Structure 1
């Protein structure tokens, strides 16, 4: 049986994306996303727990995140978990678990929560027409089950800049 490392979250950015460039010229963006869990306890009181997630995006997806995402905006992130370990300057071993994003959907457009349109701010566009930013794997194939579910109006960005299917100007916001 195959193993599976797949993460899907919907939450709000806790900070603006920080975009950097690696020594070999690849863009990388990192930011935080908060997700909430609410429930009622035995006394019927509403309880809430917040989880904070570290997200990392690479290449074209990193550039798009840096350009369009900002603190407080709602976003759907799909990717895989990865734990990094290093030794800090103080000699203490540290680790960090991150979501390495493959797909990102911007939710709650400029008009506020629930508005999934682009920069126009009109509420006429249904949520299912929100552009999807999807990064395909190195061999150019979409993740399992994605190709059939992908809408014609969804923007697809491949990992290699030389394999770009949709230009950034085609994204309507």
Structure 2
């Protein structure tokens, strides 16, 4: 019992030290949901403008899992706020079926449709995108 009693002050000091070190952090305390997705482009990326005139690059990535006879696919809608330039042009040139590796920030949004039915959507904002391979039939289409 004396061993337990002697550990209590140590645990208290550890908690105090952890709290004190947080006070001196150089970054703000916030929650973040980051996703990593490896999948294929479901369609060619599209450039859309918001009402305020900001350009948004939108595309969908599909990922498949499960055995061939019961394969399931998940679709992830992604938005990118890249400024006009080489990176945005490169992503816009990617054909449907391109295998990509995406890192992005994720958030959930709930909304009610015109019929009063509640829906949820997963929103992903691109942080980085790497092309792993292009579809084999790309040269035939061009």
Given the two structures, how large is their TM-score scaled by the length of structure 1?
A: 0.50
Q: In the alignment, which residue of structure 2 is the partner of 1:31?
A: 59
Secondary structure in 1 matching 2:51: coil
Q: In the alignment, which residue of structure 2 is the partner of 1:86?
A: 111
Cα distance, 1:55 vs structure 2: 1.4
Contact 1:17 1:69 (8 Å CA) reproduced: yes
Structure with the larger helix share: 2
TM alignment of 1:79-118, pairs within 5 A: 79-109=104-134, 112=136
Q: In the alignment, which residue of structure 1 is the partner of 2:38?
A: 10
Where does structure 1 lack aligned partners over 5 or more consecutive residues? 40-44, 114-118, 120-173
* Larger relative contact order (Cα-Cα within 8 Å, sequence gap ≥ 6): 2
Query: Whole-Å Cα distance in 2 between the matches of residues 92 and 68 of structure 1?
Result: 37
Larger Rg: 2
Contact 2:44 2:93 (8 Å CA) reproduced: no
Cα distance, 1:102 vs structure 2: 0.8
1:60 aligns with 2:83: yes
46-55 or 81-90: bigger deviation: 46-55
Number of residue pairs aligned between Structure 1 and Structure 2: 108
Query: Whole-Å Cα distance in 2 between the matches of residues 12 and 85 of structure 1?
Result: 26
Q: Do the aligned partners of residues 29 and 51 (structure 1) sit closer, same or farther apart at CA in structure 2, a change above 3 Å counting?
A: same
Given the two structures, how large is their TM-score scaled by the length of structure 2?
A: 0.59
Where does structure 2 lack aligned partners over 5 or more consecutive residues? 1-21, 23-28
Cα distance, 1:8 vs structure 2: 0.8
Q: Do the aligned partners of residues 89 and 46 (structure 1) sit closer, same or farther apart at CA in structure 2, a change above 3 Å counting?
A: closer
Q: Do the aligned partners of residues 88 and 47 (structure 1) sit closer, same or farther apart at CA in structure 2, a change above 3 Å counting?
A: closer
